[in-house]
């Protein structure tokens, strides 16, 4: 008998995730608030449902792949939880916030539903090839029970149990903070080096092999040098995530001067460009302020 999977959120990441589960022979029912996503779901062999409750009905595993905390809270209602099969598991792959997810997790637990958070690292292309990275928070035994399912969409070596409830969301947020912070700091250094007369390609290659080297420099600078601001994620969502990090730091009384500056820079970029796609639009803002482009 096929394992029944429900998926809420059929966007850039949810669609290829659903496709891989269908290809593995699972029965996959999906829903998205955007009715226009129906054809994409059907094209990949998934069963379209007109409501979140219908997608969750009798599912052994419910997967949410949504943009942020507000969407997850709106989707995972008491009615949706009640529709799941007895002893089901909810796996949230969204870029969620620990504080926002806690009440939902408690309501699920009260119904005997297991909960894993598994926010995603990677791109839609990684989702298509099943090579995502997952930052898992929750019970290790529950992860072991669903590891085979998660390995259909993620690299088995990159499914990391990082701690208990809330830890997965936190780790993903911290990774985002550091990546966006590195992008901004690297851009400032490159703009200064360029203005001082250093060849950008030489500077990039030198930095990549130095103590200041990073995956951003080694992997992502080539896209920026080609004029690609990585239009795979919206700027307003980036700012929202950075704001959650700064808020968590303030609440937990840890220093967050740099986190706040990174958040502020992305707020400025959001005010300048609007809620458009572009993970490196804060860098575009720095370029605009410098009156120069980083092009290799």
Q: Which residues form the catalytic set?
A: 172
Give the tokens for residue 170: 């936190």
Q: What angle do CA 50, 51, 54 make, to 5 degrees?
A: 95
Give the tokens for residue 267: 């707020």
- By the 10 Å C-beta count (0-12 exposed, 13-18 middle, 19+ buried), 125 is classed as exposed
- Sequence length of the chain is 296
Q: How many CA atoms lie within 13 A of 107 on its CB side?
A: 13
Contact 65, 71 (CB under 8 A): no
Give the separation between CA 43 and CA 38, rounded to whole angstroms.
9
Most distant CA pair in the chain: distance in Å?
67
Give the separation between CA 114 and CA 63, rounded to whole angstroms.
12
Give the separation between CA 6 and CA 145, rounded to whole angstroms.
17
Tell me what percent of the chain is helix, strand and coil, each rounded to the nearest 5: 55, 15, 30
Bridge partners of 29, per DSSP, are: 6, 47
């Amino acid at each position: 008998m096929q394992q029944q999977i429900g998926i809420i959120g059929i966007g850039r990441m949810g669609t290829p995730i659903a496709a891989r589960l269908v290809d593995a022979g699972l029965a996959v029912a999906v829903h998205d608030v955007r009715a226009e996503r129906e054809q994409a779901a059907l094209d990949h062999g998934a069963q379209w449902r007109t409501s979140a409750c219908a997608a969750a009905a009798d599912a052994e595993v419910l997967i949410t792949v949504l943009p942020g905390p507000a969407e997850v809270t709106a989707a995972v209602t008491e009615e949706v939880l009640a529709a799941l099969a007895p002893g089901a598991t909810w796996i949230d792959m969204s870029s969620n916030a620990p504080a926002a997810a806690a009440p939902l997790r408690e309501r699920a637990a009260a119904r005997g539903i297991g909960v894993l958070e598994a926010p995603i690292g990677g791109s839609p292309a990684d989702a298509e090839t099943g090579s995502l990275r997952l930052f898992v928070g929750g019970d290790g035994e529950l992860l072991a029970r669903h590891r085979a399912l998660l390995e259909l969409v993620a690299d088995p070596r990159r499914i990391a149990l990082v701690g208990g409830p809330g830890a997965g969301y936190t780790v993903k947020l911290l990774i985002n903070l550091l990546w966006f912070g590195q992008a901004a700091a690297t851009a400032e250094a490159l703009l200064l080096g360029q203005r001082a007369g250093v060849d950008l390609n030489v500077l990039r290659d030198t930095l990549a092999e130095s103590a200041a080297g990073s995956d951003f420099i080694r992997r992502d600078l080539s896209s920026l040098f080609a004029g690609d601001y990585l239009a795979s994620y919206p700027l307003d969502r980036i700012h929202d995530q950075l704001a959650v990090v700064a808020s968590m730091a303030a609440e937990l009384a840890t220093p967050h001067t740099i986190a706040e500056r990174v958040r502020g820079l992305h707020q400025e970029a959001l005010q300048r460009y609007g809620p458009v796609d572009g993970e490196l639009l804060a860098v575009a803002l720095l370029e605009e302020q410098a009156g120069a482009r980083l092009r290799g």
